[in-house]
Amino acid sequence: MVVEAGHFALALALGLSLIQFLVPLWGARANDPVLMAVGPTSALAVFACISFSFLALTFAYLNSDFSVLNVVQNSHSAKPLIYKISGVWGNHEGSMLLWVLILALFGAVVAISRNSIPMRLQANTLAVQAAVTIAFLLFILTTSNPFTRVVPAALEGQDLNPLLQDPGLAIHPPLLYIGYVGFSISFAFACAALIDGRIDAVWARIVRPWTLGSWTFLTLGIAMGSYWAYYELGWGGWWFWDPVENASLMPWLAGTALVHSTVVMEKRDALKVWTILLAILTFSLSLLGTFLVRSGVLTSVHSFAVDPERGTFILGILILFIGGSLALFAWRAPMLKQGGLFAPVSREGALVVNNLFLATACATVLIGTLYPLALEVLTAEKISVGAPFFNFTFLPLIVPLLLLLPLGQTLAWKRGNFLGTAQRLYAVFGISLLATIVLFAATYGGPVAAPLGIGLGLYLVLGSINEIATRAWAKGTPLSVAWRKARGLPRSAWGTALAHAGVGLTVIGIAATAWGVEAIGSLKIGERLKGGDYEVRLERVIPRVEANYREEAAVLTVFSSGRELGTLETMKRLYVTRGMPTTEAGILTVGLGQVYASIGDTQPDGSVGVRLYHKPLVLLIWIGSLVMAIGGGISLTDRRLRIGAPVPAKAVPPHAVPAE
Amino acid sequence: MRFVLALIASLLFSASAFAVQPGEVLKDPALEKRAREISTGLRCLVCQNQSIDDSDAQLAKDLRLLVRERLVAGDTDDEVENFLVQRYGEFVLLKPSFGTHTLLLWLTPALVLVLGGMGAYAALRRRPQPTAAALDDGEREALETLLKHDQST
């Protein structure tokens, strides 16, 4: 009953989104406030319906209602509660439902922030948002209905994929989707501005928190996924340049560019046309990612051709929205007035360079991901594009960008002085260079990439500290005054500095992986394996039986130069229902590094295969991402950006405008 | 989206994730290091975007042993790669070779950067640089009066 109600609510949401699409659009054309006011109301109604639908599916999962096909395929009565909940989005149909739920949630938030958004802009934005909702609701209802019943009902479910039965993966999809789908709002605002033919700094101010918020969540989502892959897949890698990862990296790169270009637009009323285009492209890449992952085209071009229903549908959505919005752009963008002049050497100029490099990096990932597919379709020739290609092409694009970053963030708006700016960074540059040389000398004969990368990361971290310090402190200022000034700096300045320092930390973490050591051996109980400065001893192997899996756990004691550091436990599991084995890596954190072990097959002589890694500073990769996200979050709390705060553009006194 | 990868991955390799087995490791560390380096650049042909170094599939294991066999026989790194390409086609290389069929793939980054840079530069040049607005007749007269006034005092 609840399940049918959920299905019905989804159909109702489709009808309501049709209203949310047509009426406000007409209202904005006719300049009729009554019609425009239908937008927010219907957006809230759509959100209510989809929420109900989502809860209905969750209800079916919680009750292990095995008369619902989706629950049968992805749940099991003996599954822990948290995975019963996360099972809702751990499959195709449910994850699409989560997708539209978040879409509707964002629509609802735009609807309730009615005071801060001009009415026409809001009406058009909600209409565009509704168009996206309609497309995806149609997709779910016609090809991916999560509420399909099975008759007769099954006695037991087939369990959720064991790899997904993990706390990290329980929250990874929601985080990622909030990021992905959040860019739909920037997209909707961009289309609304094009429909209206008007765009100004107010627009940028309204859109910026949305972009920044989505970016923050996407950053967290990607970092979470990367950490999960690191500890769950058991290979010790943290980024594989897999097409599925690239699908989330592309919107992130474009979104990062967008976050920066909206700053220019808000502060200086420049780069309008480019910002609009970027907002369209960013969401287009989110859609492309959804297509790549959801259509099965990645597994093989042939599997896509065999069961093309879903893939073709999303491809249709993709073409409709990307094509439609780009056509709208081509038609209306020339009417937008350019404003805000600036010299090439200026903060604006630096941000243009930032956008150029990020866009190129994004294009590189895009071509690397799609090229093999296109080549196979066109010429039947099969090639692989994997990690070695991406490392080779991506790094030369990112390193110059990072080298320029501290300079750019220090340059003045409008017209900067390159030499003067470089002077302010002498100390930062000197210390980083010195650190690189010292590290290089200390690890002479080791990999060169590590000291170079760490120097670069340090340069970014110090550059950010320098940025805050020079703005708060000048020669002769007492420290107490400087501290007060630093605290008085706008939140967005702190956010920027933190996010950039986070990039630096991540770079240090990545660079230090070059120092990682690996050892492989087969151990009997009591035997030892040495990897670099660390050594493990196999203590015992314990068989266990849990509710939905059996496992063999190997307990290893970790030593460093004879001293015992602790123990770690690594498991080999067999999930009974699916008959699927998984590994759980055993990890012992030592400072910012980790000792990481996984076990393999038992050898004929009774010994166990053990793979041991020491990964120095590896945690910095994810700590850095977290710091980036915190930076984004702090920037969001900046006075100017608070959603819903009615701030007319003129009410902001000029001295409160920070030079970010 | 990693969970979808996991889904796909789970279908494709159903042994524990361990890859290089203790028995495969070569005695000579220098040779083993080369073997690992070559392995990370070779695709496990039956897997979803995994190198043979990462994969547990039987084929990946066979390829790892083959690579080591060739190295022990005295092949250079390039010779090993060529040998595998001849056997399995270019599909085995995770970094495709540069050629007419991959021209667009390899040139895109440079093209986007150069064209984008030129586009941005042109857009910047086309717009008037921030210069002081020219004075109109009235203003010029006023200025001259002021200057004369200045000189006369």
How would residue B153 be classed by pLDDT, with cut points 50, 70 and 90?
A: low
Q: Beta strands A534-545 and A593-602: pairing type?
A: unpaired
CB contact under 8 A, B109 and A364: yes
Q: Which residue has the tokens 């399940």?
A: A3
Closest CA to A78 of A159, A191, A145: A159
Tell me which residue of A35, A39, A315, A16 sits closest to A192, measured CA to CA: A39
Q: What's the pLDDT tens digit per position in A126-181?
A: 999 999 999 999 999 999 899 999 988 888 888 888 878 888 888 888 999 999 89
Which residues have C-beta within 8 Å of that of residue B131, sequence separation ≥ 6?
A: none
pLDDT at B14 over 80: no
Nearest chain B residue to A171, by CA: B3
Please state the rounded mean pLDDT for residues A94-112: 94
Amino acid A532: pLDDT = 84
CB A397 within 8 A of CB A411: no
pTM over 0.80: yes
pLDDT at B19: 67
Specify the DSSP element, H or E, that contains A221: helix A201-232
Whether residue A225 has pLDDT greater than 50? yes
Cβ proximity of A286 and A132 under 8 Å: no
Instruction: List b or e across A139-172, with b for residues whose CB sees 16 or more CB atoms inside 10 angstroms.
Output: bbeebbebbeeeeeeeeebebbbbbbbbebbbbb
Q: Quote the tokens at residue A535.
A: 């050594």
B8 interface with A at CB cutoff 8 Å: yes
Each residue of A511-557: pLDDT tens digit? 999 898 888 888 888 899 998 889 999 999 889 998 888 888 999 99
A177 close to A105: Cβ distance less than 8 angstroms: no
Domain spans, chain B = 16-95, 99-126
- What's the rounded Cα separation, in Å, for the pair B78 and B84? 10
Within an 8 Å CB–CB cutoff, is residue B145 touching chain A? no
Interface test with B, best of A235, A278, A370, A550 (most B CBs within 10 A): A235
Q: What is the CA radius of gyration of chain B?
A: 32
Q: Give the number of other CB atoms < 10 A from CB of residue A653.
A: 7
pLDDT interval class at A480 (50, 70, 90): confident
- Strand A586-590 and strand A517-523: pairing? unpaired
d(CA A575, CA A422): 58
CB pair distance less than 8 Å for B48 and A298: yes
Q: How far apart are CA A213 and CA A220, in angstroms?
A: 11
Residues near A611 by beta carbon (within 8 Å), at least 6 away in sequence:
A236, A518, A519, A520, A597, A598, A599, A600, B18, B19, B20
> CA of A36 to nearest chain B CA: how many angstroms apart?
37
Q: Is A574 helix (H, G, I), strand (E, B) or coil?
A: strand
Determine contact: A577 vs chain B, CB below 8 A.
no
Q: What angle do CA A54, A60, A65 make, to 5 degrees?
A: 160
Q: Which residues contact A293 (CB under 8 A, 6 or more apart)?
A: A244, A247, B1, B4
Helix H segments across A144-200?
A: 167-196
Read off the DSSP letter of residue B49.
S
Nearest to A572 by CA among A597, A538, A537, A535: A597
Cα–Cα dist A369/A509, whole Å = 25
Cβ distance A357 to B113 less than 8 Å, yes or no, reads yes
Residues of B in Cβ contact (< 8 Å) with A341: 127-130
Residue A452 has pLDDT above 80, yes or no: yes
Closest chain A residue to B123 measured between Cα atoms? A271
Closest CA to A192 of A206, A175, A174, A177: A206
- List beta partners, residue A360: none
**pLDDT greater at residue A130 or residue A599:** A130
Q: What is the CATH number of domain B16-95?
A: 1.10.8.640
Residue in this structure with the two tokens 């006075």, named with its chain if needed = A639
Classified as helix, coil or strand, A530 is strand
- The H-assigned helical ranges of chain B are 2-12, 29-40, 58-72, 77-88, 103-126, 137-152
Give Cα A498 to chain centroid, integer Å: 18
CA distances in angstroms from A341 to A62, A199, A356, A421, A583, listed in the order given: 58, 16, 19, 20, 58
Interchain CB contact of A517 with B (< 8 Å): no
Distance CA A633, CA A636 (A): 5
Residues in chain B, how many? 153
User: pLDDT at residue B18 above 60?
Assistant: no
Q: What is the largest CA-CA distance in chain B?
A: 101
- What b/e sequence results for A573-588 when a residue is b if at least 16 CB atoms lie within 10 Å of its CB, and e otherwise? bebbbbebbbbbbbbb
* β-bridge mates for residue A540, sequence order: A555
Close Cβ partners of A381 (under 8 Å, ≥ 6 residues apart)? A375, B90, B101
Note the pLDDT of residue B13. Answer: 38
The identity of residue A550, as a single letter, is R
Nearest to A242 among B19, B49, B128 (CB): B49
Share of chain A above pLDDT 90, in %: 54
If you search the block for the tokens 């319906």, which residue do you land on? A49
**pLDDT at position B53 over 90:** no
Question: How far apart (Å, rounded) are the C-alpha atoms in residues A327 and A124?
Answer: 17
The answer to which of A87-96, A214-223, A292-301 has the lowest mean pLDDT is A292-301
Q: Is B3 on the interface with A (CB under 8 A)?
A: yes
Q: Verify whether the Cβ–Cβ distance B18 to A611 is below 8 Å.
A: yes
pLDDT at A511: 94
CA distance A509 to A453: 9
Say which of B1, B20, B95 has its CB closest to residue A389. Answer: B95
Residue A578 and residue A283: Cα distance in Å, rounded? Answer: 37
What's the whole-number mean pLDDT along residues A239-253? 91
- For the record, the structure tokens of B72 come out as 């022990």
Q: Judge whether A162 is closer than 8 Å to chain B, CB to CB.
A: yes
How much is the CA Rg of chain A, to the nearest whole Å? 27
Q: What are A273-295's pLDDT values in tens digits?
A: 899 999 999 999 999 988 888 87
pLDDT at A463: 94
Q: How crowded is residue B145: how many other Cβ atoms within 10 Å of its Cβ?
A: 10
Decide: A370 and A246 in contact? Cβ < 8 Å. Answer: no
At CA B69, angle to CA B63 and CA B74, rounded to 5? 130
C-alpha span between A137 and A455 (Å, rounded): 49
DSSP states of A188-202 = HHHHHHHHHT---HH
Record: contact B113-A161, CB cut-off 8 A = no
- Give the number of other CB atoms < 10 A from CB of residue A302: 10
Alpha carbons A195 and A202: distance in angstroms, whole number: 16
Helix or strand or coil: residue A521?
Answer: strand
Contact (CB, 8 A) for A510 and A412: no
B47 within 8 A of B60, measured Cβ to Cβ: yes
3-class state of residue A516 by DSSP = coil
Which residues, listed in sequence order, are joined to residue A289 by a DSSP beta bridge? none
Residue B128's pLDDT band, with cuts at 50, 70 and 90, is low
Minimal Cα distance from A610: which residue of B?
B22
Q: How far is A520 from chain B (nearest CA, A)?
A: 6
Q: How far is the C-alpha of A161 from the C-alpha of A294, rounded, in Å? A: 17
Is A172 within 8 Å of chain B by CB? yes
Q: In the structure, what pLDDT confidence band is assigned to residue A302 with cuts at 50, 70 and 90?
A: low
| B29 and A CB contact within 8 Å | no
Say if residues A115 and A54 touch (Cβ distance below 8 Å): no
